[in-house]
Amino acid sequence: MALTNEQYDIIRKEYDLRLLAAADKARARAEEAARIPGYSALEERASALIRSFAQGLAQGAGAVSCREELQRLRQEKEQLLQGAGYPADYLEDVYECPLCRDTGYVDGHKCTCFRKREIDLLYADSHLGFLTDRIRFSSLREDVYLKGGTESDVQHFIKARDASLSFVENFPACRNLLFTGSVGTGKTALSVCIAGELIDRGFRVIYFSAVSLFERLSAERFGSREEQEEQRLSSDLYSCDLLVIDDLGTELTNSFVAEQLFALLNERSIRQNRTVISTNLDLEQLFTLYAERIFSRITSEFDIFRLTGPDIRRLTAG
């Protein structure tokens, strides 16, 4: 699981608080049960049997009869609880997760509840918002391209979609991806699908539109935020398993943007972390806007897919 140490600490502290809350709940419920006539006497008898068993006074046939007596006492306590209007498991049902009893682990392995919390944090950290709720590979329809496009447009989409699925299946042993094409041809949709699938598999993904990304970097470089925060953002961008930059070329391109983009691509290449970029620009425009070293980096380290056809968002609207 690709959580940061800070994220992992957050989850562990949450489970510590869960255990404290469960202990408080158990204590309060035990006090309620103690007020049921006869319940405390059964508890005392059960405690005495457990002490006897622990001290080794009950062995062989005695141990069997001890366990049978404990079971009988347990059933009597459950009957008293139910007779007083409580569920039979009232003193046991104090945990948010009965599987791990709020420890986060079952038989030395992460519980499903721990795993879900990890994924929740990964989504929160990704900047994807609700996009992945609406866009998944299963929701992509190739026939949409035929409504206003051609068979060639469909084939371009299928090729890019299949490459995206392969990217996910082989991640991180895969090459970076660049999706080019006009507005509404499915570049962002494919990027979001990739991001969502990888988060669900436990990888750390950060998703930014190019405009938001370079605005953040600019604000943290030239604004009033502490330099440490800027370094932390850069560190996250460099170290995440997948960085998605959507709509490259829509930002106000200048020397700062070019410098930051090259630093991102270069550092992530050194660390062998994967990047997905979508852009409305063609390769000639990329070369013109970002100069040779960025163009060279992209064309040598990215598999490039061009999507064509109509604006499918308009075709599917309504």
pLDDT of residue 318: 46
pLDDT of residue 116: 87
**Do 171 and 301 belong together in one domain?**
yes
For 205-240, the pLDDT digits (tens) are 999 999 999 988 887 777 655 544 455 678 889 999
The domain of 72 spans 18-96
Q: Does the residue 2 lie in any domain?
A: no
**Do 154 and 30 belong together in one domain?**
no
* Ranges in the chain, pLDDT < 70: 1-2, 54-64, 223-232, 313-318
- Give the chain's end-to-end CA distance (angstroms, integer): 39
pLDDT of residue 71: 86
Which residue, of 96, 118, 146, is where some domain finishes?
96
Q: Alpha-carbon torsion 150, 153, 158, 161, what sign?
A: negative
Which residue, of 74, 96, 118, is where some domain finishes?
96
pTM of the model: 0.73
Q: Does the residue 91 lie in any domain?
A: yes
**Do 198 and 310 belong together in one domain?**
yes
**Do 136 and 254 belong together in one domain?**
yes
Q: Does the residue 104 lie in any domain?
A: no
**Do 237 and 290 belong together in one domain?**
yes
5-33 exposure pattern, b = at least 16 Cβ within 10 A, e = fewer = eebeeebeeebeebeeebeeeeeebeeeb
pLDDT of residue 310: 78
pLDDT of residue 113: 92
Report the domain count for the chain: 2
CATH of the domain at 284: 3.40.50.300
